[in-house]
């Protein structure tokens, strides 16, 4: 990209979706609208060495409009996933796979890959830096009140600088900079679809646990709503003074979705009528504990503060080291690695419902 006003690139966000021996992926018609909005965490058409960092950068951002497909399309526009200095250095001096100017990278870059060096040429460092920058711009776009797709506003800020978005009170028009920013936004938004992977997965096998996991997988991409959801499906949530907020605004009361325990309750109902909260679900199944080395798809996993306090989260084991969960406000029902679904120190244990 040709960088305007000092903004640069960097892509793509985060965790998840190694799909198991047990799991294969499909889109569900009844969830198409949610998948279209959030991509359901799916990702395809991305080089292997970028995939991990794209998913990780996405997971690190609590803005729903941030998706792996958005970041992948942006990276494609920036560098076509190129990493050599010959192929990934622009006339404007932007460098690396995420096309950062060195000064901009100094603000957003970290040693995310842990190799002892913070470099805009390292895939992990570059992708995570782009994720941070885009996450910040998406938040600005959402609070700006400017018309148009907030993703387009954020992309325009990335390309031309947020000052230009403020100047035009939206995406700069074609008359600005020979249409470079306008075209940049349109091209990325139009190519997102090619990077959207299947958002849902199917589960082989039979029995109550497999049926429950299969049922829950049909809700991938459904928004998280604190206090929302139940045996009949997703519903509006509520805010309780602590939970259900983003940037101080209550979003749960206007969001139709699930929280962690209502998703589990919905999945097993009516064959197994689990109680509503994560703590109560642990209490109802704690007489059937399962060691971490013995986990099977459909087992329930629990987290508590410090691994010994009150239980605050429940997820379903999806096989191959992954869990299916409704993670937190601002996210959607997803598949994530067990090791990073919640803080590792908070892992409490597992049960077999």
How far, in Å, CA of 310 to CA of 175, rounded? 58
Assess whether pLDDT exceeds 70 at residue 159. yes
Q: Percent of the chain at pLDDT above 90?
A: 67
CA distance 137 to 154: 5
d(CA 326, CA 333): 4
The answer on pLDDT for 69 being more than 50 is yes
**Cβ neighbours, 10 Å, residue 174:** 13
Q: Of the candidates 195, 181, 3, which has an alpha carbon nearest to the alpha carbon of residue 99? A: 3
User: Which band of pLDDT confidence, cut at 50, 70 and 90, is reported for residue 122?
Assistant: very high
Q: Which residue has the tokens 């962690």?
A: 260
Residue 238 has a pLDDT of 97
Whether 65 has a pLDDT exceeding 70, the answer reads yes
Say whether pLDDT at 126 is over 80: yes
Q: Point out the residues that are catalytic.
A: 260, 313, 325
- Is 33's pLDDT higher than 60? no
- Its sign, for the CA torsion 99, 105, 108, 114, is positive
Q: Counting beta carbons within 10 angstroms of the beta carbon of residue 138, is it exposed (0 to 12), middle (13 to 18) or buried (19 or more)?
A: buried
Of the listed ranges 2-16, 302-316, 332-346, the one predicted with least confidence: 2-16
Question: Both ends of the chain: CA-CA distance in Å?
Answer: 52
| Predicted pLDDT of residue 118 | 97
Structure token digits, residue 199: 């958002």
Read off the tokens for 243. 């939970």
pTM > 0.85: no
- Measured over all CA atoms, what is the biggest interatomic distance in the chain, rounded to whole angstroms? 68
| pLDDT tens-digit map of 204-260 | 778 899 999 988 887 877 899 999 999 988 999 999 999 999 999 999 999 989 999
Q: Take residue 191 and report the two structure tokens written for it.
A: 């190519």
For residue 166, the model assigns a pLDDT of: 97
Q: What is the pLDDT of residue 263?
A: 97
State the pLDDT at residue 129.
97
């Amino acid at each position: 990209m040709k960088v305007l006003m000092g903004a640069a690139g960097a892509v793509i966000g985060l965790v998840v979706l190694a799909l198991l021996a047990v799991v294969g992926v499909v889109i569900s018609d009844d969830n198409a609208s949610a998948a279209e909005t959030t991509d359901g965490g799916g990702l395809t058409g991305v080089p292997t060495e970028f995939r991990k960092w794209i998913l990780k950068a996405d997971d690190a951002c609590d803005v729903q409009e941030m998706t792996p497909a958005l970041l992948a399309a942006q990276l494609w526009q920036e560098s076509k996933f190129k990493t050599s200095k010959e192929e990934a250095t622009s006339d404007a001096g932007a460098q690396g796979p995420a096309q950062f100017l060195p000064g901009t990278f100094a603000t957003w870059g970290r040693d995310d890959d842990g190799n002892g060096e913070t470099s805009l040429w390292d895939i992990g460092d570059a992708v995570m830096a782009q994720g941070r920058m885009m996450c910040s711009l998406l938040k600005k776009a959402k609070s700006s009140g400017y018309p148009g797709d907030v993703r387009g506003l954020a992309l325009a800020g990335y390309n031309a600088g947020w000052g230009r978005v403020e100047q035009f009170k939206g995406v700069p028009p074609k008359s600005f900079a020979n249409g470079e920013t306008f075209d940049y936004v349109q091209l990325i938004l139009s190519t997102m679809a090619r990077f959207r992977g299947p958002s849902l997965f199917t589960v082989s096998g039979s029995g109550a646990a497999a049926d429950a996991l299969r049922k829950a997988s049909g809700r991938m991409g459904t928004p998280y709503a604190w206090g929302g959801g139940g045996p009949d499906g997703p519903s509006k949530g509520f805010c309780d003074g602590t939970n259900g907020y983003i940037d101080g605004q209550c979003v749960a009361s206007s969001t139709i979705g699930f929280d962690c325990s209502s998703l589990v309750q919905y999945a097993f109902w009516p064959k197994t009528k689990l109680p509503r909260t994560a703590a109560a679900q642990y209490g109802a199944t704690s007489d059937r504990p399962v060691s971490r080395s013995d986990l099977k798809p459909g087992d329930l996993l629990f987290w508590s503060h410090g691994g010994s306090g009150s239980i605050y989260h429940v997820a379903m084991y999806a096989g191959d080291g992954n869990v299916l969960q409704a993670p937190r406000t601002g996210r959607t029902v997803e598949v994530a690695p067990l090791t990073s679904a919640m803080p590792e120190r908070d892992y409490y244990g597992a049960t077999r419902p």
